[in-house]
Structure 1
Amino acid sequence: MVELEFQQKTKTLIDSLKSICANYGLGNDGNEFKIITQTFLYKFLNDKFAFEAKKLDDTIAKADKWEEALVAMSEDDLDMLQLQMGGDTARLKPQHFISYLFSQQNAPDFAKLFDDTLIDIAISNNDVFAVKTDGGAKVVLFDRISQYIADDSKRDAFCRAIINKLVEFSFERIFTQKFDFYATIFEYLIKDYNSNSGGKYAEYFTPHAVARIMAEILVPQDQRGTVRNVSCYDPSAGSGTLLMNVAHAIGENRCSIYTQDISQKSSNLLRLNLILNNLVHSIPNVIQGNTVLHPYHKDGKELKRFDYIVSNPPFKLDFSDFRDELDSKENKERFFAGIPKAPAKAKDKMAIYSLFLQHIIASLKPNGKAAVVVPTGFITAQSGIDKKIREHLVKNKMLAGVVSMPSNIFATTGTNVSILFIDASNDGDVVLVDASNLGEKVKDGKNQKTVLTADEEQQIIDVFNAKEAVEDFSVAVSYDDIEAKNYSLSAGQYFDVKIEYVDITPEQFAEKMQGFTNNLDSLFSQSRELETEIKKQLAGLKYEA
């Protein structure tokens, strides 16, 4: 009950912040998501600091106003207190507290004080909380929020409105909540900002069903608690949905996250996701940059290799501007199956996913596992790069299986998708699942999407992990079987063709055959009569000038 109550209160806070933006002309503005996510994060870090301080110091815990107890501490005592806090708690000074800004809201140039506070917090925590670009620059936690209000005279009022909303709410009672709670909050927080309205580099929010199926197959329930000290990577991380699910399955304190994504917006959202999910230690591994052209994570000159890799790469993205740069000697091994050619027209149809898939294979440890969303056409293509990749996976015995998902599992794209599971140490059977007939069609805004029930999700997971053959649904096949089928990974091509046999007596058989013969005699007779009639009609035709 407490979870649901605070979940609703948190959503109300988010709605209130969006309402403030709308009242000041920023509703659906390109900068609205920066304001919403950054003010939400400021509040979260403020309350997390208070939560940790109260756990460490009884005087603060028992004080009517914890902020005043902290202000009364000497500088040395405050430094010692912060040293005792975990690495996922931001280092704050008394003048950074929301209560302090609330007390100063009638001061002149309040917007400048508000902005300066956020910038000072960002600078003080730069080493831990900054996202890096592939060029080495750091993207700090906060911007100057008031700058997005064009009218200078309205900036103070805008910042006051935000502080008044933040001071009314506290996260402190929910810091003990786990992944599922924060996943719901995060999805609600970014639901308006992670869609295909993003233009050229649009980020698509991976459906929960896809993320859960990936995580449950990569890290089965019977392995929970035994996996530790592993690395998890997503070369097209977006806002981190896939990684958060895998990290939760492994245990947030048992893994390190590594990411790269070309979108600065996505990288900022991913940072927020890591903070919410106790993965602050991985923020230094979040890189904003072009994975295909400039892969950042390396061991020396070689690509860094990972224990787990998940990805929902872009399917259609124009990379013609740098395509020729990829065709180099140093990329021969990484792009072993080739680089797609740039079509003369419709460059949005370039198969960039094949580059990400090859990069993932090259980035996997010898005993590593990966799960990648691919267009379903990939699993049956009879020529080109797609087939070469499948041949590579089969010949090197590093394929776990494929789950073909229902159409419209992504509301924002009509492309049918499958999940390709790679296991670099699998020399046994490969599991192929056809889940295309599962799910229920529902409206999602202007779009239609397919939603799987929890039971259907579990059915896919259980059948795959058990390598179970279920009629017209799943099959377990050998690498030799796949090679014999020209490397097709479509489950349907391996299903048994069933012929129903009916026991009949010789007399019944003779009777059926006589019936067929009589029927044919009748049809032949009608055919001869029709032939005679047609000839008669043709003979009666006359030419009239």
Structure 2
Amino acid sequence: MVVALKKSDLYSSLWASCDQLRGGMDASQYKDYILTMLFMKYVSDKAKSDPDSLIEVPEGGSFDDMFAAKNDKEIGDRFNKIIGKLADANGLRNVIDQADFNDPEKLGNGKEMQDRLSKLVTIFRDLDFRGSRAEGDDLLGDAYEYLMRHFATESGKSKGQFYTPAEVSRVLAKVVGIGSSTSQDETVYDPACGSGSLLLKAAAEAPRGMTIYGQEKDNATWALARMNMILHGNATAEIFKGDTITSPSPQLTNGKSLKTFDYVVMNPPFSIKSWNNGLEEDFGRFEYGMPPEKNGDYAFLLHALTSLKSEGKAAVILPHGVLFRGNAEGNIRRELLKRGFIKGIIGLPANLFYGTGIPACIVLLDKENAVSRKGVFMVDASKGFIKDGNKNRLRDQDIHKIVDTFNRQLPIDGYSRMVPMSEIADPKNNYNLNIPRYIDSSEPEDLQDLSAHLHGGIPNRDIDALQTYWDALPALKDALFEPLREGYSNLTVDPSEVQEYALNRSGLELIRADVENVVMEWFGAHREALLGITADTKPNDLIRDLGDDLLARFKGMPLLDEYDVYQQLMSYWNDTMHDDVYLLMTELGNGGSWASAAKPRKTIDDKERKLSEDPDLEIGVGRSKTKYKMDLVSPALMVDRYFADEQARVDELNAKLDLASAAVVEHSEEHGVDEALLAEATNDKSAYTKQLISAVIREARASGDQETLDCANAALELVNREAAAKKAAKEAQAALDEATLRKYGELADEDVKLIVVDDKWHAAIATKIDTEVNALTLALVARVQQLGERYSETVGDLDVELEKLEAKVMGHIAAMGLES
């Protein structure tokens, strides 16, 4: 069996493999085993499908040889030898053989190790990477990121340093300056490369990749980086071992100077205290000052600067403290600013990284035209994120907004601006780069108006603050407010009626229609590209074209933020559409078609691998029941297009069933409760049963209790009516399900294309974008209601109410005879 090529299925399988290793070790250790297995499986599959594969898989050194060792008493030792053969054939000793598969302390003794590794190799045996192109936008790349993210999460605060979150890596890669004109022979270097994900993201921004260099201190993490490069088609990448600051690799130096590169990207360890332990040679890095002895942040920044060519560019993630700390660091910062090396600063949200919760920033260095640089472009992106478990995560819209804003140098109030060097050098700032000094991103305070509380009315300044809404919905403002006195207005409707006005009397339907038309035109422009998906389609390019065009079309649209609209597309892409595209690509690459990609398959239910799927359709009953999964075209889509009348009939029968069931419940609540006539006709769930009602009928006949007999007969009739309605609805649903299943076998390619592209993708995206209109409207409603309720009663009104309450209390006191 081969697991369907969907992210969710692949992730479930990979995480099930982690379950086999939990208990004997923590994630920082078992990640080496899982990633080694992933590597062995991938390169073995790749060698079968690609005769030009850069990795040689020798006889006795493949994943198939590992699977052949399943249930062997010496399985651990055999695994080590098989991996060793592959390592020897490719110069990968101490790279892919870091994990000891024969370690009883981690994997158990005897039978325990045998069972654990046998289950582990079985999980990977069911995965098929022969169709994977490892271009960074394929399933393997996603799977690797998935594993690294979860390993970092489970490894905890002290051991998550091997991984830079993919979202942050994407930002660095896109703002450092790599682009469509970057050639393959240009160089990118990460002096603290961890598992290499940041380097790969940066190189992937160039159309044909780049020449990659990196260095990593931790031996196990260095091995991960080497494997990661091979898995992503960069087997020639140069990744060296050693401490970048104290011992730059000889291959990265020229005598007493550092080799230089076109681009540097880096996420070094934050504020490391032991950065200079063993430092003997500075390699010309500290000409602008020596970093403080117990904080290495500027040591890494200066290393990046020194590693740049004369027109080189760097993006370095560092803690916010580098922007404002004084003394030695302040002096270095001043010297870098005076020379124009710092091009920009991007402030990131707190709690993005796995090793620390503190907020970080990206420092952009650029030697090109440094002498003529007149300012620093700053972006405060600290508020754009989503909560993801106990971490924060950048959304697609946050990434795109950061990149657009920085690369185009767009000034946005409260978000970004070009700060002149004269302002930074001003004595009041003294080369301090703390972003809040230059960008006020704080939310305006919601002020209470004393005059409004005393005399009534809503302050016009609060109404005017909603001007973006009034620009889009001018009729709503006129319907809701009328002048009261200078500077104040009255809410003309009750606060509870504001929502009805906003949704139905505001002209919102015109905006909704405009949005629908824009989405329709946008989708129409890309429909042929979607219909033309092939095995060679590049999903990253496809979604980039879709997303960038959607952003452009919604820029300037009243009421809506184009990045919120973009996020709706990207959420659907990540949740559903990417899987659909990849499934189609795989099927087409294997000689199939759109129609074959839509074929139902039986669900997977493998308890041993902890992998199961909820069926989309069930045919039959009992042991003969067959469960089906429809990955591309759901039964609901089929029914909507082909069986609308049949579904209407099922809905009608279900409605009759609901009425029949309600009548039974109503009767039982009146006559089936304790001490009622039919108390003995209900079970322990207080529900009638036919058997119990029949027993009551027999007793009533025998005793001549006509009242109970009539009541029981009425109950029996209702129960029988409900049973008949249930049978009719069930039979109609079963018939519809069987007709739906048969219809899958009748679909032609053109049928499936229409369903997937129009009924599924277009309809879902249009619906998601429409929710943005509703969400913004409801936000307006909430604010107007808040203002209306806040100032609905003046102090005078409250005084009158207080007098009434005091009089009422005094009346009660007098009635009790307690009046003094």
* TM beyond 0.5: yes
Contact 2:98 2:220 in 1 (8 A): no
2:780 aligned partner: none
Give runs of aligned pairs for residues 243-322 of structure 1, distance below 5 A. Answer: 243-251=199-207, 253-282=208-237, 285-296=238-249, 297-319=252-274, 322=276
Change (3 A) 1:301 1:476: same
Aligned to 2:339: 396
- Give the number of aligned pairs: 432
**Alignment CA distance shift 1:241-1:166 (3 Å):** closer
Q: What letter is aligned with 2:8?
A: Q
Partner of 2:35: 37
Match of 1:122 among 76, 79, 87: 87
What's the counterpart of residue 667 of structure 2? none
State how 1:36-435 maps to structure 2 within 5 Å: 36-53=34-51, 85-87=52-54, 90-103=55-68, 105=70, 109-126=74-91, 129=92, 139-141=95-97, 143-147=99-103, 148-175=106-133, 178-179=136-137, 181-194=139-152, 197=155, 202-203=160-161, 205-219=163-177, 223-251=179-207, 253-282=208-237, 285-296=238-249, 297-319=252-274, 322-323=276-277, 325-326=278-279, 328=280, 330-331=281-282, 333-342=284-293, 350-381=294-325, 383-410=326-353, 412-426=355-369, 427-435=372-380
Deviation string 1:280-334 (CA, Å, 9 cap, x unpaired) is 110xx212211111011213442111111111111133317x54x43x5x42731
What is the rounded CA distance, in whole Å, between the counterparts of 2:192 and 2:172 in structure 1?
Answer: 15
SS in 2 for 1:194: helix
Counterpart of 1:377 in structure 2: which amino acid?
G
| Larger of the two Rg values belongs to structure | 2
**What is the deviation of 1:207?**
2.8
Amino acid at match of 1:493: R
Residues in 2 aligned to 1:91 and 1:266: alpha-carbon distance in whole angstroms: 23
Q: Structure 1's 272 and 198: CA in aligned 2 closer, same or farther, altered over 3 A?
A: farther
Inter-partner Cα distance in structure 2 for 1:374 and 1:175: 34
1:121 shift after superposition? 1.0
Aligned CA distance change for structure 1 residues 468 and 15 (closer, same or farther; 3 Å): closer
| Residue 457 (structure 1) aligns with | 399
Task: Give distance in 2, aligned partners of 1:229 and 1:208.
Answer: 24
The letter for the 2-side match of 1:405 is L
Give how far 1:198 is off: 6.5
Q: Does the C-alpha gap of structure 1 residues 109 and 437 become closer, same or farther in structure 2, counting only changes over 3 Å? A: closer
Change in 2 beyond 3 A, CA 1:395/1:290: same
Percent pairwise identity: 24
Q: Over aligned residue pairs, what C-alpha RMSD do you find?
A: 3.1
Q: What are the ranges of 5 or more consecutive residues in structure 1 without an aligned counterpart?
A: 54-84, 131-137, 343-349, 498-545
* CA distance in structure 2 between the partners assigned to 1:16 and 1:257 by the alignment: 33
CA distance in 2, matches of 1:7, 1:256: 30
- Output the amino acid matched with 2:193: A
Q: Deviations over 1:228-275 (max 9, x none)?
A: 311111111112232121111024x44121111221232122223212
Asked if the contact 2:152–2:354 (Cα under 8 Å) also holds between the matched residues in 1, the reply is no
**Given the superposition, is the C-alpha separation of residues 405 and 281 from structure 1 closer, same or farther in structure 2, using an over 3 Å criterion?**
same
Distance 1:341 1:239 in 2: 28
| Rounded Cα–Cα distance in structure 2 between residues aligned with 1:429 and 1:337 | 20
List per-residue Cα deviations over 1:366-396 (Å, max 9, x = no partner): 1100001122122123x32322232232222
Change (3 A) 1:372 1:3: farther
Partner of 2:384: 439
CA distance in 1, matches of 2:397, 2:27: 40
1:337 and 1:219 mapped to 2: Cα distance? Answer: 25
Q: Residues 318-365 of structure 1, C-alpha deviation per residue, up to 9 Å, x if partnerless?
A: 317x54x43x5x4273123444455xxxxxxx3221211111111111
* 116-125 vs 412-421, which moves further: 412-421
Structure 2 unaligned blocks of 5 or more: 442-820
CA shift for structure 1 position 51: 1.4
Check 1:193–1:411 CA distance in 2 against 1; reply closer, same or farther (3 A cut): closer
Match of 2:437 among 477, 493, 510: 493
- 2: distance between equivalents of 1:204 and 1:144? 20
Q: Per-residue displacement from partner, 1:133-167 (whole Å, max 9, x unpaired)?
A: xxxxx545454412243414544444333333332
Q: Deviations over 1:17-45 (max 9, x none)?
A: 213224xx425365322211111111111
> How many angstroms apart in 2 are the aligned matches of 1:29 and 1:241?
18
